[in-house]
Each structure stands twice: as structure tokens, then as C-alpha cells.
């Protein structure tokens, strides 16, 4: 990892700060208040300023630390609700995790009407997914295999994609998704932000980042966070 620039974010100092410290729309802040997200978790405090500034990011923090909102707020902040085209894509290792991410993004998107978040996982009817894609969605959350399937069939258009998230990247690698992730990432627009979130930091993550992230900043939180 030594050849990648490392962010020296004061993660611990920034934790506990209110979300209002961030450049977020007032309606978004109101939603966070409604959700009773009063202060940022350490990973949110460390990664949101980087992600909102548009940088690629590698963020590592343990399970339950609030990583979903860290990338969810970043991708929602640059979404154009008027354009019914896929603007953000989140890759997750399993259907269950994709469903949780979908729920959290929908909660965070409550402040804006009509944001469509579509799960794209294996085990669901292809036809229904294709119909939903044809009707227009802003964000897709799914497993690499099924998203690859849509790309091969030409049933998903990614020309307007501006954010690619690799969530639980360590688990995706453990499950053998490297080649599927590569297939998807190589066919996403080059001008995009890529955010990689992981609970652990094995060597494979560094390799993945080298392949698909551009000058990423890194945020790694110690175990106690």
C-alpha cells in the first residue's frame, strides 16, 4: 500500500461531530435528525469529508460502524433526481447485505421525493428487474454476478454512472467475486468516483484498489472503533 497516498484524517477528533459540519443539503440534515443520527460515527467523520470532496476512497472499519451512511450520503449528495438514469451502483457480497444497504439508502433518501433504489440480486426474477430498469432508477444495489448478467444482456445502462461503491469488499473477494467485480468496474465510465469499504484489510484489497481506484485516500480505523 505504500505507493498509495494515505489520508491523515483526525478520525478520533472528528468523531462525535454533528453532521451539520459537512456540506450537506439542509433537507438531508433534517432527514438525519429524523433518523436520530445526531453525531457522526468515527468512520463517517473520517470518510465523509473525503468522499464529499469527490476523491476515491478506501475505508476500513469494523462491522456496525456506520459505513453504509458514509457512502450513502456521498452518493445521494450528487444525485440528480430529474435524471432517471443509473447514477450510482453499490456492489455487495450477498442478497441479504444488498437488501440492508437498499433499506438504509432509501431511509437516507427520504428527504427527496422519487429517488428509485433498485436491488439487483440473483434469486429474483430477471424480467421484473428489467422492467424496473426500463422504468428508470437512480441507484442500483446488487450482487456482482447479477449486475454482470444485466450488463452482458444490455439491460442496464451505465453512461450516467458517477459513483461506484464496493461494499464489504473483503467478503466479496472471499466469495470469489474478483473477476465479476473486474468485469463490472471495467465497463463503468472512467470519470467516476469509486468508494471501497471493507471490515478488514487483506492484501487482496490493496490489489483491488490498485486496479479500480484512482489516487484513493485511505481511512483505517483501529479495532476499538
Q: Which residues pair with 119 in a beta bridge?
A: 141
Tell which one of 48, 57, 69, 89 touches ligand ADP (CB under 6 A): 69
Distances in Å between the Cα of 84 and the Cα atoms of 110, 111, 133, 134 are: 17, 17, 9, 10
Q: Which is nearer to ligand ADP, 59 or 156 (CB)?
A: 59
Q: How far is the CB of 140 from ligand ADP (least distance, A)?
A: 18
Measured at CB, which residue is nearest to Mg ion? 67
- Least distance to Mg ion from the beta carbon of 142, Å? 15
Report the nearest approach of ligand ADP to the CB of residue 90 (Å): 11
User: Could you give the string, one character per residue 33-62, with x where binding to ligand ADP holds by CB under 6 A and - elsewhere?
Assistant: ----x--xx--x------------------
Q: Which is nearer to ligand ADP, 23 or 64 (CB)?
A: 64
Q: Which of 64, 123, 154, 176 binds ligand ADP (CB under 6 A)?
A: 64
Does residue 8 belong to the site contacting ligand ADP (CB under 6 A)? no
Nearer to ligand ADP, 93 or 144 (CB): 93
Which pairing describes strands 57-60 and 163-166: parallel, antiparallel, or unpaired? unpaired
If binding is defined by CB under 5 A, does position 67 make contact with Mg ion?
A: yes
Give CA–CA dist 13/71, Å, rounded: 20
Does residue 198 touch ligand ADP according to CB under 6 A?
Answer: no
Amino acid at each position: 500500500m505504500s505507493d498509495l497516498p494515505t489520508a491523515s484524517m483526525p478520525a478520533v477528533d472528528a468523531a462525535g461531530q454533528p453532521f451539520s459540519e459537512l456540506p450537506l443539503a439542509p433537507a438531508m440534515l433534517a432527514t438525519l435528525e429524523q433518523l436520530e443520527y445526531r453525531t457522526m460515527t468515527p468512520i463517517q467523520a473520517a470518510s465523509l469529508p473525503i468522499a464529499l470532496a469527490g476523491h476515491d476512497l478506501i475505508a476500513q472499519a469494523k462491522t456496525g460502524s456506520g459505513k453504509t451512511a458514509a457512502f450513502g450520503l456521498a452518493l445521494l449528495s450528487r444525485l440528480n433526481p430529474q435524471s432517471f438514469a443509473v447514477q450510482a451502483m453499490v456492489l455487495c457480497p450477498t442478497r441479504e447485505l444488498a437488501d440492508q444497504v437498499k433499506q438504509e439508502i432509501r431511509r437516507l433518501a427520504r428527504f427527496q421525493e422519487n429517488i428509485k433504489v433498485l436491488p439487483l440480486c440473483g434469486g429474483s426474477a430477471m424480467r421484473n428487474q428489467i422492467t424496473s430498469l426500463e422504468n428508470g432508477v437512480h441507484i442500483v444495489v446488487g450482487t456482482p454476478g447479477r449486475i454482470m448478467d444485466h450488463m452482458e444482456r444490455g439491460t442496464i445502462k451505465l453512461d450516467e454512472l458517477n459513483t461506484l461503491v464496493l461494499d464489504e469488499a473483503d467478503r466479496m473477494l472471499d466469495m470469489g467475486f474478483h473477476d465479476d467485480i473486474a468485469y463490472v468496474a471495467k465497463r463503468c465510465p472512467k470519470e467516476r468516483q469509486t468508494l471501497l469499504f471493507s471490515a478488514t484489510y487483506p492484501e487482496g484489497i490493496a490489489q483491488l484498489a490498485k486496479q479500480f481506484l484512482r489516487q484513493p485516500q485511505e481511512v483505517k480505523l483501529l479495532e476499538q472503533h
